[in-house]
Amino acid sequence: MIRITPSKLLKIVFGVGLFVILCIGGFTYKHIQELSESTEEVNDTQTLRTELEHMVYNLKEAEVGHRGFLLTHDSLFLKPYHESRLKIDQNLKRLDTLIVKDKAQRENLNQLEQDIVKRFIIFNKSLNIATDDEILTKDILLLLHEGKIKMSRIRNDISVMLELENKLLHEQQKKNEEAIGITPLFLYSILILTLLLLLLAYAKINKDLMVLKKTNKDLKIFKTLTEQAEIVSKSGTWMWKIKDNTYHFSDNLYKLLGTEPQSFEPNLESIFKYVHEDDAEDLRQEISNMIKNEDLPFVTFRIVQPNGATKHLKAHAKLIDIGFEEKQLLGVAVDVTDEFDSFNLIQERNQELERNNKELSDFNYVASHDLQEPLRKIQTFISRLETNDGEQISEKGQFYISKIKSSSARMRMLIEDLLQYSRTNNADKDYVNTNINMLLEHAKHELSDSIESKGAIITNDNLPNLEVVAFQIQQLFINLISNSLKYSKEGIAPVINISHQEVRTNTVKDIEKSLFKYHHKISFKDNGIGFEQVYAKNIFELFNRLHGKTEYSGTGIGLAICKKIVENHNGVIVAEAEPNIGTTITIYLPFLK
């Protein structure tokens, strides 16, 4: 369907209205023309009638003159006779011009003319005879008689003509009456039609006006919203009408430049007054490309506000030629200073982090190599001293040596655990689908000496395959099992049970914040010395110990490593314990079903 736009409809209505009014004018003119024509015809008929009457009168004059002469032979009487003869000719001529159209009337006129000619022939004959004899002869009487007959014939002709004329007049009048009767009705109906059309157009235009009003209102609202949005988003808009090369800047664009809205002529040169001098050349290049290509990709540049503040702007524009009569480039400029600053800040932080990481790895190297070396020497020299000169040293001296030995052993343990802890930090996270049972076996193998010496019994459920960093999980198992072995009750063989089950995340409080739907729950339950439940959270913190160094040989790093490994795998580790009953360490590792 073809959509008729309001302006098109207006044109149509105007066209139709104009046409109708022209039609009315035309019809009216034609009718008046017809009326005046018929009036003329009535006049003509009237003239014709008068002319005919004149002719009868003139004929009678001629007859009177003729008779007078016949009686007196006085030529005085001949004068009016001749005059009326001339007059009759004139009458005939006039009649001839009057009767141009009507064929029947013309035939009548011809008949009349012939009859008149014949009458005058008789007149002339009798006049000739009368001049000769000067008396009334039989011939003259005959001629007079004949003349009378001719005269009555002429009268008849005239009456026929008059009758015809009357008939014509009557018809004409009837026609006129009809025409005059129709004319007002016709004019009136056309007027009504025009009025109707006008009303329709008015209604339509009114409706469109309402729509226009609403659209206008919406546009006003939208404009206000856009202005608000510009203020909130620190952006401004601009338009470039390509054809007449004029610009329009939004109020907020002026504000972005640090000036009052519409305080200067919107054009490119005035913008460049604010552009940072280092960015001006690049921007000019971009703008000249924009003018050439009628497009502006994203550009960023700095501006200097009148108060001296430097801001970063990002601009972009797009050519719009649909819906507008001329092509326009619509653009947006955004103040990205904050983003820029925070980006710089992030970059600075990143560099700082990189530096820190580098320092950390340097520290790792120092710890693993340079710190261990002197320690190793101390231990080796002590072992030399012990084996070579053990007997010569006093008992006190031997006690000191044993203290040096245990201290250096402890230091070695600390260094090694710390290294382990930092390594779990930055290990390559190489997640591989691994049989966890195998990792548990490796862990048990690693600890086989102390398992044997303590006579520990370790039982476990069948464990699943998981996507893990294998060496970390193995380390986790080693740490958990060695903890159970270390904190076992004296004189009682440690019993460690490792159980597994799949749980729905929303059924367990400890993992309710997890985004995963399912978790593997793996618990390490022992019959060791346990601890007060209040410490359940603390034990996973670095260097946090619940026991004196001499009682148990922990460094306070083992469980912190465990926590880190579990967290590397998006899991959760929790502890549950009761003094003298035992400890259960549970790890939850998420998986997708």
Cβ closest to another protein, residue 374 vs residue 397: 374
State how far the Cα of 155 lies from the Cα of 115, in Å rounded to an integer: 10
CB nearer to another protein: give 309 or 409.
409
Residue 308 vs residues 117, 304, 333, 485, 527: alpha-carbon distances, Å: 124, 6, 20, 70, 73
Cβ proximity to another protein, 416 vs 576, nearer residue: 416
| 300 makes contact with another protein (CB under 8 A) | no
Is residue 450 at the binding interface for another protein, with CB under 8 A as the rule? no
Minimum CB separation of residue 483 from another protein in Å reads 23
Measured between its terminal Cα atoms, the distance across the chain in Å is 55
Distances in Å between the Cα of 391 and the Cα atoms of 26, 388, 397, 405 are: 149, 8, 11, 17
52 CA to centre of own chain:
89
CB neighbourhood size of 233 (10 A): 12
Which residues within the stretch 368-387 sit at the binding site for another protein (CB under 8 A)?
368-369, 372-373, 375-377, 379-380, 383-384, 387
Q: Which is nearer to another protein, 239 or 367 (CB)?
A: 367
> What are the respective helix, strand and coil percentages of the chain, to the nearest 5?
65, 15, 20
CB nearer another protein, residue 445 or residue 517: 445
Q: Which is nearer to another protein, 263 or 387 (CB)?
A: 387
Q: List Cα–Cα distances, 415 to 21, 73, 500, in angstroms.
A: 110, 184, 33
Query: Taking the complex as a whole, how short is the minimal distance between the CB of residue 590 and another protein, in angstroms?
Result: 28
Residue 482 contacts another protein per CB under 8 A: no
Closest Cα partner for 519 from 589, 449, 436? 589
Residue 292 or 369: which CB sits closer to another protein?
A: 369
Contact positions with another protein (CB under 8 A) in 117-156 = none
Closest CB 368 distance from another protein, rounded Å: 5
Give the residues across from 435 on adjacent strands: 465
Pick out residues in 62-91 that bind another protein (CB under 8 A).
none
Dist CA 250 CA 232 (whole Å): 14
Which C-beta is closer to another protein: that of 121 or that of 378? 378
Closest CB to another protein among residues 376, 504: 376
DSSP state of 77: G
Residues forming beta bridges with residue 586, ordered by sequence position: 523, 574
Q: Is 112 or 371 the residue whose CB approaches another protein more closely?
A: 371
Q: How far is the CB of 389 from another protein (least distance, A)?
A: 13
Q: Measured from the CB of residue 344, what is the shortest distance to another protein in angstroms?
A: 35
Give the integer Cα–Cα distance in Å for 292 and 574: 67
Site track for another protein across 409-448, x = CB under 8 A = ---x------------------------------------
Find the shortest distance in angstroms from Cβ 424 to another protein.
Answer: 13
Q: Which of 216/380 has CB closer to another protein?
A: 380
**Angstrom distances, CA of residue 240 to CA of 257, 302, 325:** 18, 21, 14
CB of 257 to another protein, least distance (A): 57
d(CA 351, CA 357) in angstroms, rounded, equals 10
472 phi, psi to nearest 5 deg: -70, -45
Task: Rule CB under 8 A: say whether 30 interacts with another protein.
Answer: no
**Count of residues in contact with another protein, rule CB under 8 A:** 13
Tell me the window of 286-294, 327-335, 366-374, 452-460 that interacts with another protein (CB under 8 A). Answer: 366-374
Q: Are 219 and 296 contacting, i.e. CB atoms less than 8 angstroms apart?
A: no
Q: Is 362 in the site for another protein (CB under 8 A)?
A: no
Nearest distance from residue 470's CB to another protein, in Å? 13
Q: How far is the CB of 561 from another protein (least distance, A)?
A: 16
Smallest separation (angstroms) from another protein to the CB of 429: 15
Q: Is the separation of the CB atoms in 327 and 333 below 8 Å?
A: no
**Rounded Cα distance, 363 and 422, in Å:** 10
CB of 289 to another protein, least distance (A): 52
User: What is the Cα–Cα distance from 407 to 415, expressed in whole angstroms?
Assistant: 12
Q: Which two tokens stand for residue 362?
A: 């340097």
- Which residues of the shown chain bind another protein in the complex (CB under 8 A)? 368-369, 372-373, 375-377, 379-380, 383-384, 387, 412
